[in-house]
Structure 1
Amino acid sequence: MSTGVIIALIVIVIVIVAVMVVAAVRILRARGGSHGGRGLKHRFGPEYDRAVARHDGDVGAAERELDALVQRHGGLRERPLEPAERERFQARWRAAQEKFVDSPREAVADADHLLAEVAGARGFPDGGEHEEQLAALSVHHANHVHGYRRVHGAAHAAGTGDGRAPGTEDMRTAMVEARALFDDLVGSAPQQPQHQVQAKAQTKDSSRFGRHLPWNFPRHQAKES
């Protein structure tokens, strides 16, 4: 067999392999839309539904947004807290809860600042970049990040004085939901990625906080501030 024939056969084989690779890539991309969507929904849980709602039901736009978040923050590695750090954060949260009875607005503001600080200590973007911090948290703590969103909104609305300030019960609910994220962030051991622990409840029942007096007090006892 001549050298020219051998070269021709090699070229033909290379072309065939290239065509097969291109075809395989196209098939994977076509299938990736559905698998990617299911993967994003599994990873983001309630945040997936909120993203779809933000985009007025446009699932494709919502998934592109969430995929971009994973690309930007998926590689973030959470830094475990030292025991002393954890104890200090937990003590400050208890103090905020106790303050809620007499000063709910101050308590909500304290909780908002504390969550930003804890997230920063775990390696998330600095609290001064709230939206970026929230975005990163949504990738790794999707089930509970909405509690942070609520308490942050309540803290900032409470000081506007424009008639849109939340009521005591709204602030209490925000605190309870935010506590779920706080518990995730200060856990005694590094947390699994949130998309791997979807069995956790989206919002922990407020009875969990029975050991903290402010969450047992009759609702009418909390003072509007």
Structure 2
Amino acid sequence: MTPVAWLVVAIAIVVVILAVGYVVMTNLNRRRRLKERFGPEYDRTVRERDSRKEAEQELHARELRHSRLDVRPLSQESRTAYARKWSEVQERFVDAPGFAVTEADALVTSVMTDRGYPTEDFEQRLSDLSVEHASTLDHYRRAHEISRRAARQDATTEELRQAMVHYRALFQELLDEVPARSDGHRAVRSSTKEADR
């Protein structure tokens, strides 16, 4: 082979290596970004799917769906009213824990509706919430499961108390979130007095 042919082959090999490196780095960056955004929900989705690629495609699809939703913050008046309702639900827990858990579930769903999340299907709610509220999804899952058992009168008082704690985690996050800042990140408003009770 002539020196020019060797040079062409060498350049082709370098181009292929660079292209492969670019694809690998792009995938690693996307994976890192998804892990940061979805936290424990990333790992859960990977475990539930046949492959990491399929899981990451699903998480990306969740982001796309979420970007089309009209998710908005609550007004100060709505946050105050919801915080008051939460305090009332917590007070009712003493005398009627099962009923209070059912009310807590309804209240969380109501906040989600007012924020602009679709609420018809529980699994879809989880999917939509996972984009911005992945850190509290396990709380929501556990609370919802206990709530279902409570409806069948198959939950202990301690489990009902745990459900209230789990619902409160998502409730607070939904209540306190404010719109995205100019840098694209969301700020979190400090809790109102009523919500901290």
Coarse TM-score class (shorter-chain normalised)? 0.7 to 0.9
Does the aligned pair in 1 maintain the 2:105–2:147 contact within 8 Å? Answer: yes
Partner of residue 36, structure 2: 42
**Structural mapping, 1:86-165, within 5 Å:** 86-125=79-118, 127-160=119-152, 165=154
Q: Distance in 1 between matches of 2:30 and 2:129?
A: 20
For residues 142 and 196 of structure 1, the distance between their equivalents in structure 2, rounded to whole angstroms, comes to: 15
Show CA shifts across 1:115-140 (max 9, x none). 11101111111x22332222111111
Structure 2 residue aligned with 1:172: 161
Deviation of 1:141 after TM superposition, in Å, equals: 1.0
Equivalence map 1:16-27=2 (5 Å): 27=21
- Which ranges of structure 1 fall in alignment gaps of 5 or more residues? 1-19, 198-208, 213-225
CA shift, 1:76, in A, is 3.7
Q: How does 1:2-21 map to 2 (within 5 A)?
A: none
Q: Return the letter of the residue paired with 2:129.
A: L
Aligned equivalents of 1:37 and 1:188: distance in 2?
A: 26
Supply the AA of the counterpart residue of 2:123.
Answer: E
Q: Deviations over 1:198-221 (max 9, x none)?
A: xxxxxxxxxxx9x63xxxxxxxxx
Deviation at 1:146, TM superposition (A): 2.3
1:206 paired residue number: none
How large is the RMSD of aligned CA atoms in angstroms?
3.0
Report the TM-score when normalising by structure 1: 0.66
1:35 is matched by which residue type in structure 2?
N
- Consecutive unaligned residues in structure 2, runs of 5 or more: 1-14, 187-193
Q: How does 1:146-225 map to 2 (within 5 A)?
A: 146-160=138-152, 165-187=154-176, 189-190=178-179, 212=197
Compute the displacement of 1:24 (Å). Answer: 7.4
Q: Among all aligned residue pairs of Structure 1 and Structure 2, give the percentage whose two residues are the same amino acid.
A: 38
The answer (yes or no) to whether the contact 1:111–1:151 under 8 Å persists in 2 is: no
Separation in 2 of the partners of 1:169 and 1:62?
35
1:9-56 C-alpha deviation (Å, 9 max, x unpaired): xxxxxxxxxxx8x99776543322221111111101121122233237
Q: Please give the alpha-carbon distance, in whole angstroms, between the structure 2 residues aligned to 1:28 and 1:117.
A: 45
Answer with 23-32 or 104-113: which moved more: 23-32
2-structure distance, mates of 1:76, 1:42: 21
**1:147 and 1:180 in contact (8 A); partners too:** yes
Offset of 1:183 from its aligned partner?
1.1
- How has the CA–CA distance of structure 1 residues 166 and 52 changed in structure 2, closer, same or farther, with 3 Å as cutoff? farther
